[in-house]
Chains A and B, each alone.
Chain A
Amino acid sequence: MTSVLYDAPGPKAKRRNLIFSVVFFVLLALVLWWVWQVLDDKGQLEWSLWKPFTTADAWTTYLLPGLADTLKAASLAMVIALPLGAVLGIARMSDHRWVRVPAGAVVEFFRAIPVLLLMLFANEFFARSTGVSSADRPLYAVVTGLVLYNASVLAEVVRAGILALPKGQSEAAQAIGLRKSQTMSSILLPQAVTVMLPAIVSQLVVIVKDTALGGVMLGFTELLNSRGTLAANYANVIPSFIVVAVIFIVLNFILTSFASWLEGRLRRSKRGTGAVLGVEDVDDLNAAEVGGTHGAGAEK
């Protein structure tokens, strides 16, 4: 689609593009150079601030346990939120009012509240009404908060994905005598999941990032929280933030790469069976929908 917006560049346009590129590159390089200079000037590049990250202690005492907690909470939340989201999304499209309305209410409610507050409430709930040990409680609370919010969001993703399928799909399914549940499980859902995959993935990225909220008030020792303890020891606030940011970027990059590999596989298999819908368009629309929504999701 993008190439549709402009003609194939002729000699003049090529020259203009080259000039634009060069100017843009020079500006970018200047900015980066200036950033480097100022950092150096303010002593932020001093080796003493970065050296701790080359020692084993910094990793084994602070960063790796923090990373482990982040991964633990994120993966648990993903595994629970994905099926729950699918169920909620399908329930919201139910023909029965008594299923549709409560599901809709749950989705809208949990989308409206900041995740941090959901975690706070979950923490109180586990403390008052269950025997979860105090050591595990922050993890439970964080996972619960993440699941409630992200399942609601995923429910909307699934719903949008199914609604985006051509009507003919479910009509054809009815015509060959499939029951409603069969239509959903063997016709609509498989197609919707393929189409929604980018959207689902950006939601998973949100889950990874939002684990960081658990450290704010519940004392969940995830990565960002451990960073604070680390910086208190080594007095290297800015480098510690940069290192943690890089870890998050790498983590999410791995996640998204895995997802696009998966998407590629699903796409390829689809071509064999004859594509049924304008995949590109729907897919991108939904990707954005979610990316935005929830991506911006719920950092507290």
Chain B
Amino acid sequence: MFDFLSDYDDPSLLGAFWVTVQLTVFSAIGSLIWGTLLAAMRVSPVPLMRGFGTAYVNIVRNIPLTVIIVFTSLGLADIFGVTMGAPDDFELKYFRLAVLGLVAYTAAFVCEAIRSGINTVPVGQAEAARALGLSFSQVLRLVVLPQAFRSVIGPLANVLIALTKNTTVAATIGVAEAALLMKEMIENEAQTLLIGAVFAFGFVVLTLPTGLILNWLSKRLAVKR
């Protein structure tokens, strides 16, 4: 019943899921950084930056991810000639473009999670920090964000799970991850249900433990008040 799986060795099922994992990890790191910057902009004293942060989040969150990923390929790569340092290696180029698209999209959600985390830090913390004479960036870096991060591990875990599943959209621009292999298999084998089940199982294996571990972590690290 599963013998068709052995016909695929480049990439194999595991290889394709490995690309999925890589996409997830790189995009997670990138969107954490960009999302934190966006959150900082949204609470910053400079009105224009606040406006930009708000506009970015509201626009990006409202566009289907497929459209954003396609824009990285059709727009950035084709029109603006962005090659991501790999003009002659398509595999690398489109992988990096996909990461860029996923970061741009996921960061909006990371930003909102962190901003709400900032709101859970008691006002007294920031006031005390200011009383010590710390500047805005010092207040944020040394006092508020460290506490905020601990309280948003739960929400961020949810973002990470969603991100893992969202990497499947990278197939739209030809990144050879799990969803693309699934598409090829369905095109060749005409066994939609069975193939779908195999890949659904793969995603359950990837996302369930992530959720459980991070939930446990968030309980452990929660700031006791």
Contacts and interface: CB of A to CB of B under 8 A. Distances in A.
A281 B118 CA distance: 9
Contacts of A293: 109, 155, 158-159, 161-162
Interface in A270-300: 280-281, 284-300
Contacts of A28: 52
A14 to B, nearest CB: 10
Interface stretch (B6-14, B86-94, B195-203): B195-203
Q: At the interface, is chain B mostly helix, strand, loop or mixed?
A: helix
Contacts of B120: 281, 284-285
A178 to B, nearest CB: 29
Interface residues on A, range: 35 or more
A113 B200 contact: yes
Contacts of B59: 249
Contacts of A9: 45
B63 A4 contact: no
A96 to B, nearest CB: 23
Interface stretch (A48-56, A115-123, A179-187): A115-123
B166 A287 contact: no
A108 B61 contact: no
Contact of B119 (A284, A291, A300): A284
B66 A113 contact: no
B166 A292 contact: no
B115 A284 contact: yes
A5 B113 contact: no
A38 B79 contact: yes
Nearest to B207: A112
A298 B166 contact: yes
A39 interface: yes
B19 to A, nearest CB: 15
A120 B52 CA distance: 39
A169 interface: no
Q: How large is the interface on B (under 10, 10 to 19, 20 to 34, 35 or more residues)?
A: 35 or more
Interface in A217-248: 217, 224, 237-238, 241, 244-245, 248
A287 B112 contact: yes
A109 interface: yes
Nearest to B110: A292
A258 interface: no
A81 to B, nearest CB: 16
Contact of A205 (B61, B199, B208): B61
Interface in B39-63: 42-43, 45-49, 52, 58-59, 61-63
A152 to B, nearest CB: 12
Contacts of B140: 5
A114 B162 CA distance: 9
A169 B114 CA distance: 28
Contacts of B106: 296
Contact of A121 (B48, B80, B127, B193): B193
Nearest to B63: A245
Given A287-B116, A296-B105, A4 B179 contact: no
A149 to B, nearest CB: 10
A258 to B, nearest CB: 14
Given A113-B200, A120-B192, A298-B165, A288 B74 contact: no
B109 A289 contact: no
27 contacts: A17-B45, A20-B46, A24-B46, A112-B207, A117-B196, A117-B200, A117-B203, A205-B62, A209-B65, A245-B67, A248-B63, A248-B64, A252-B61, A252-B62, A253-B58, A280-B119, A281-B120, A285-B117, A285-B151, A285-B152, A288-B114, A288-B115, A289-B155, A295-B109, A296-B105, A296-B106, A298-B165
